[in-house]
Amino acid sequence: MPQDLVRALSDAAAPQNQSLVFVYGTLRRGGSNDIAQLGQLAQWLGRGRVRGQLFDLGAYPGLVLGGPDWVVGELYGVDSSAQAWLDELEEVWPQRSGEYRRVQALVSREGQSCRALVYEMDRSIARRRPLIPGGDWIEHLASRIV
């Protein structure tokens, strides 16, 4: 997809003064760290998906970007204070743990694509853990309970 079109879609999707963020694990609706707890600081924009693989780390998943598979998640518009909260939760700020890094990824949403921030797991950590078939953390949790 041409970069100008990706930029235009990203600008149109994110409310003013907000960044787009893609969440795929405990930050999703109903998750243990549901981003909705931030109220108006995190505006739900819909479901989306990214190319990658999802790994089960026990209490939370880890995403590794790339490849032919899809990971299911949600797209939000967040302001700078919500972004700071997310960075701290994922331990990329103030003290970077090395487990996650914040990167830009191409998110597919309703037949269109946009760029959003995503927290990608260190590949060496994630690949030692079980792969989550289907790339959906919430669905995976439900299957573990049954």
Q: Which fold has domain 3-145?
A: Hypothetical upf0131 protein ytfp (3.10.490)
Q: What are residue 43's DSSP bridge partners?
A: 77
Q: How far apart are CA 91 and CA 102, in angstroms?
A: 10
Q: Where exactly are the structural domains of the chain?
A: 3-145
Buried b (16+ CB within 10 A) or exposed e, 6-33: eeebbeebbeeebbbbbbbbbbbeebee
Catalytic residue among 74, 88, 90, 91: 90
Non-local (6+) Cβ contacts of 60 within 8 A are 25, 26, 32
pLDDT of residue 12: 44
Active site residue 90: yes
Q: Which segments of 61-119 does DSSP mark as H helices, in order? A: 80-89
Q: Percentage of the chain surpassing pLDDT 70? A: 86
Q: What is the pLDDT of residues 55-69, one digit of tens each?
A: 999 999 999 999 999
Question: How does the average pLDDT of the chain come out, rounded?
Answer: 87
44-50: average pLDDT: 96
113, 110, 119: which is closest to 10 by C-alpha?
Answer: 113
pLDDT of residue 131: 96
Asked if 27 contacts 48 with a C-beta cutoff of 8 angstroms, the reply is no
Q: What is the pTM assigned to this prediction?
A: 0.86
Q: What is the pLDDT of residues 83-136, one digit of tens each?
A: 999 999 998 866 677 789 999 999 999 889 999 999 999 999 988 999 999 999
pLDDT band at 5 (very low <50, low <70, confident <90, very high): very low
